[in-house]
Structure 1
Amino acid sequence: MKADPAVQRRLLDLAECDAELNRVNHRRRTLPELEEIGTAERDAQAKRDSLVAAQTAFGDIDRDAKRLEGEIEQVRAREDRDRKLMEAGGSSKQLEDLQHELQTLARRQGILEDELLEVMERREALETDVARAREEVSASEEKLADAQRRRDEALVDLDTAEARRTAERELMVKGLPENLVVLYDRIRAQKGVGAGLLQGTRCGACRIELDRSALAEVRDADADDVVRCEECGAILVRTKETAR
């Protein structure tokens, strides 16, 4: 294939444009915010799980407290009824039975109130745990939202850079021979880099030095010949200095 040397040199601009697009895509895939978001998401989920566990424990102890309060109310209601019955009078046997029951109810009430006091202390501690867990969830979600915001801002910048470079590339391609662009794109798709400047004895695409025979072939080629690196296959763009 042949192409005017000046046209071939314009491939270097195209290659640099493609290199910039590659950097943009690499940057998009490797944004530090992505790893930060992943870590923050896992941390936020762990904090949410801890909150659910704390709420569940609080709910269980709260039900226990309400059950005990209900039982105490029942005992008190029974005591009130028995006292009213005693005040109404009755046989000595009935009064004796009521007195015995009141003593039993008093002991029962004491036991229930002790249990309720212990449960209420545990309930208060668990309520504190729930409040702390909520604060931790809020803090972790704020951290996640901040990382997501910074990621979105970075992506906007990358999208802008990509759009600008893509538009520049389209203009470059329009000014190049179609067959040369087809060859360049095919090489780039296979090797990653489509063209590079011959810098002394080194290929600018793969950075490998050409051996003596390959270098002689390149320098013996006509100025408008499209030559390629024997190592990476990229189009070797020559200047007047490298052509000698």
Structure 2
Amino acid sequence: MTRPARGRRRPAGFGGGTIKAAPHDQLRLLDLQALDTHIAQLMHRKRSLPELADIARLEREQEALADDIVAAGTRVSDLQTAQRRAEADLEPVRERRVRNQHRIDSGAIADPKALRAMIEEVEHLGTRITTLEDAELEVMEELEAATALREVLGRQADEIAEKLAGHVRSRDLKVADVDVEGRELTRERRAVAAEIPADLLTLYDKLRASMGSGAAALEQRRCRGCQIEVNASDLGRFTAAAPDEVLRCEECGRILVRTARSGL
């Protein structure tokens, strides 16, 4: 795509005087840009590891399960308290029935009316004991179910922790590999940057900070940064420019580096 010259303006913030740099130094910008692109890709890969999504998901599951485990533990504790209370309620009733039954069996109660009252009380105590035992049995069944649920949740937590640890190990290994490669590329970048004149490097870094890349090759009359074909007017100006003149794309503002494939 070729844009007409009229009405075009270089993006704001990319102005400035003409910079001079030897063609070799300009070509080194492409090497620097390739390194910066590779470093950016590495950082993106580091931020996009599939393990990161798995870890985040498992951590959410772990957090939710931890709440469930706390609730299950509280339920077990409450039911254990209820069972102790039920047993405590039963014990004196049982003891009283045993005492009363012993008095009946011993013949110690001579008064028929008193004996009949005692027998009725023993029967009442028996009914009360049955009611309390049923209530205790219900609590025990609930306690058994709550304890089983707590154990199931505990096993689930162990499984999640094991999976999480595996993903963390995998992530750490991949991050370590990326960091090693990143350090090597950074060292190489410093070496290449040291070869580039300071004013040219400053402009490149400013552009890269603004748009992600600071330089692009001019190939087949097209800026490889914005992929827009240079119009005839600019092409004529580029053709007439001295080899050491640093060119700029009038569309995107990137430094345009002439190569053997520029078509000039």
TM-score by length of 2: 0.85
Q: State how far apart, in whole Å, the 2-side matches of 1:59 and 1:98 are.
A: 39
Indicate whether 1:131 and 2:165 are aligned: no
2-structure distance, mates of 1:147, 1:30 = 14
Q: Distance in 2 between matches of 1:80 and 1:191?
A: 92
Following TM superposition, by how much is the alpha carbon of 1:34 offset from its aligned partner in structure 2, in angstroms? 2.0
- Name the structure 2 match of 1:231: 251
Structure 1 length-normalised TM: 0.91
Aligned to 2:242: 222
Q: Do residues 161 (structure 1) and 161 (structure 2) align?
A: no
Greater shift, 26-35 or 41-50, is seen at 26-35
Cα deviation per residue 1:115-141 (whole Å; 9 max; x = unaligned)?
222222222222221111111122222
CA distance in 2, matches of 1:101, 1:57: 37
| Unaligned segments of structure 2, at least 5 residues | 1-18
Say which of 187, 194, 207 aligns to 2:214. 194
Q: Distance in 2 between matches of 1:212 and 1:14?
A: 29
Instruction: Check conservation: 1:191, 1:233, Cα contact below 8 A.
Output: no
Partner SS state of residue 216, structure 2: strand
Aligned-partner SS, 2:228 = coil
List aligned pairs for 1:1-244, cutoff 5 A.
Answer: 1-86=19-104, 87=106, 89-92=108-111, 93-242=113-262, 244=264
Off by >4 Å, runs of 4+ in structure 1: none
Aligned residue type for 1:17:
L
Distance 1:53 1:218 in 2: 74
Q: CA RMSD in A?
A: 1.9
Q: Is the 8 A contact 1:219 1:242 kept in 2?
A: no
**Identical aligned residues as a percent:** 38
Bigger relative CO (Cα 8 Å, ≥ 6 apart):
2
- The number of equivalent residue pairs is 244
Structure 1 gaps, min length 5: none
For 2:168 and 2:228, the matched residues in 1 are separated by: 41
Cα distance change on mapping 1:219 and 1:29 into 2, 3 Å = same
What do the CA deviations read for 1:39-65 (whole angstroms, capped 9, x no partner)? 111111122222222222222222222
Normalized per residue, the structure richer in helix is 1
